[in-house]
Structure 1
Amino acid sequence: MASEPGVARPASTILLLREGASDAIEVFMMVRHYQIEFASGALVFPGGSVDAGDHEIIGRPELYAGSDGLDATTLSFRIAAIRETFEESRILLARLRGSDDLIPAARAAEIADAHRDALNEGKISFAQILADNGLVLALDLLVPYAHWITPEGMKKRFDTWFFLAAAPPEQLGMHDGKESTDSIWLSPREALEGGDNGRFTLPFPTTRSLIKLGKQPGVQSALDHARASTIVTVMPVVSRDGDKRQLRIPAEAGYDGEVFEMTGAP
């Protein structure tokens, strides 16, 4: 979905969570291809822009569940979150029509093998994949976590909703080798340590989200805490202090501070 230069494009991302082997929460992350224009080489959560096909799915309520009380704009963010996650990671948050259980991992893999490349190349719509395979998007599994808007004055801007979701059992995820070059399950602590020692490049919203997530002892506690929290929209304000750039965000957003030194992408 095209947007005017400087206008924030609607986008969504999902923090897919699972319990780690050492009882630490783990999140699925991907390394963006170095030739991608936005956040090249960065370690990020799967996600991307809302597109016209996401809005078309809204008009087909048989293709999704968990829409009670949600307006069209909110639905478009959630649909895009699941579609982009499938495109980028093969992980599919959906149920077979008539079932209360998430689609089995083996069936999700079959659908990804058959359709993910064609979907990424625009040869098939997400709506068609859902309809042909009798799938219903599990929008009810997405828990709103954060809302970030790229600072004004930047050439490429996004209006991004972050969601939490428990990862479907046995769906391990895999990068596509095009938009992303690697994928990994790791704890927030490991991701942040990688950012500190240069192993990873972490965008500022990603760093703050990982710090917040790392305070939770497990998946269920993270989901419960998010459900009970009020989301404060964050659009950082960039300023200079001598030769340093700083980002100012609302203290009430809950990111342990208000002014931060800018060391990466805002």
Structure 2
Amino acid sequence: MNDFSKSAEPVLSSTMLLLKGEDAPAVLMVKRHYQIDFASGAMVFPGGKVSADDHREDWEGWYHGTYLDDELAARIGGVREVFEESGILLATRKGDPAGKFVGQSVCNELAEFRSPVDRGEMSFLELVQKYKLQLDLTDLQPYAHWITPDFMPKRFDTRFYVARAPEGQEALHDGRETTEAVWMTPTEVLEKAEAGEAKLLFPTRVNLERLEDLGSVSAICEFAQPENVVTVLPVVESDETGKFLRIPKAAGYRVTTEPLERVMKTV
């Protein structure tokens, strides 16, 4: 039974919605390993907890853009998580302009370091420095902000970003945290879940629905601005049908409530 009297502090986290195409874009989805204790087997966007390495002050000069504190660390963490889970690297050669992403040959060269970085055996910053790269944080646009409900034993303060995928880079799952890395349209993912062929967390589902509603990449990027991001901290309420989560109507999702039982099944 959950102890509603205790609330863990949410951990800063980052989630990345990488997009390919234009009018009916595909989004990168990864499938979480069945042996992971949280959301095992679920299809999710790449992402995870921000690490101490992401917060290091000596990142200065090794990324494009101007960001501070948690916003900077969340963007670095998002790029790192995408690299760990899919092999895609949102980075340029040191000194190249933002948007001139490295190609697949660089990703292949760095592929052996994905697992050591993921396990904390290697610093992502030192890897970037060694290969003279710069993370391109300017392509990340704020899309959503979710905080895990108070009663959950694991809580995350998650920044969602959308970004265009670098041309020519391939997505390959890591085999440790993820068992698949696939490009699918939001409609395809949602239909797969509706048919019982995929498990989606509540935040994943509603953010896919919003991608579907927005349609094109240009419309998604036009929406993805700081002023449109409403922080979502679901709260538990109940009525004659049972307990449910409620989220702010101002967040702009199709739904504002979700049965608590359905939420807990996916977690």
Q: If the length of structure 2 is used for normalisation, what is the TM-score?
A: 0.91
Residues 147 and 155 of structure 2 are in contact (CA less than 8 Å); yes or no, is this contact kept in structure 1?
yes
For residues 240 and 223 of structure 2, the distance between their equivalents in structure 1, rounded to whole angstroms, comes to 39
In structure 1, the residue matched to 2:201 is 203
User: Which residue is 1:258 aligned to?
Assistant: 256
1:12 aligns with 2:14: yes
**1:159-178 to 2 correspondences below 5 Å:** 159-178=157-176
In 1, Cα distance between equivalents of 2:162 and 2:197:
25
Q: Is the counterpart of residue 148 in structure 1 residue 141 in structure 2?
A: no
The 5-angstrom pairing of residues 48-197 of structure 1 reads: 48-56=48-56, 58-67=57-66, 70-100=67-97, 101-112=100-111, 114-197=112-195
* Contact 1:5–1:156 (CA under 8 A) maintained in structure 2: no
Which amino acid is 2:142 matched to? Answer: P
Q: CA deviation at 1:17?
A: 0.2
CA distance in 1, matches of 2:17, 2:159: 11
* Secondary structure at 1:245 match in 2: strand
Q: What is the identity, as a one-letter code, of the residue corresponding to 1:107?
A: V
Amino acid at match of 1:16: L
Q: 1:217 to 1:258 in 2, by over 3 A?
A: closer
Contact 2:148/2:156 (<8 A) preserved: yes
**Any idea what SS the aligned residue of 2:113 has?**
helix
Q: Secondary structure in 1 aligned to 2:228? A: coil
Query: 1-side partners of 2:148 and 2:120: how far apart?
Result: 27
| Alpha-carbon shift at residue 180 of structure 1 (Å) | 1.0
Residue identity matched to 1:14: M
How far did 1:136 drift? 0.4
Q: List runs of 5+ in structure 2 lacking aligned partners.
A: 1-5
Q: Structure 1 residue 30: deviation in Å?
A: 0.7
Deviation track 1:169-193 (CA, whole Å, cap 9, x = no partner) reads 1212111111111121100001111
| Higher mean C-alpha displacement, 243-252 vs 155-164 | 243-252
Moved over 4 A (4+): none
Aligned to 2:3: none
1:94 Cα deviation from its structure 2 partner: 0.5
In structure 1, C-alpha distance between the alignment counterparts of 2:240 and 2:109, rounded to whole Å: 55
Task: Tell whether the 8 Å contact from 2:64 to 2:134 is kept in structure 1 after alignment.
Answer: yes
- Note the alpha carbon deviations across 1:217-249, whole angstroms, 9 max, x for none: 322221122137521100111233346331101
Where structure 1 has 5 or more consecutive residues not aligned to the other structure, the ranges are none
Tell me, yes or no, if the aligned pair for 1:42 and 1:202 is still in contact at 8 Å: yes
Which sits farther off after the overlay, 243-252 or 145-154?
Answer: 243-252
The CA distance in 1 between the partners of 2:7 and 2:259, in whole Å, is 26
Equivalent residue pairs, number: 257
Distance 1:247 1:5, change over 3 A: closer
Hey, what's the Cα distance between the residues in 2 that align with 1:117 and 1:257?
38
Report what 2:234 is aligned to. 236
- Report the alpha carbon displacement of residue 91 of structure 1 after superposing the two structures with TM: 0.6
Distance 2:237 2:88 in 1: 39
Bigger Cα displacement from structure 2, 203-212 vs 30-39: 30-39
Whether contact under 8 Å (2:26, 2:183) holds in the other structure is yes
TM-score, reference length from structure 1: 0.91
Structure 2 partner of 1:46: 46
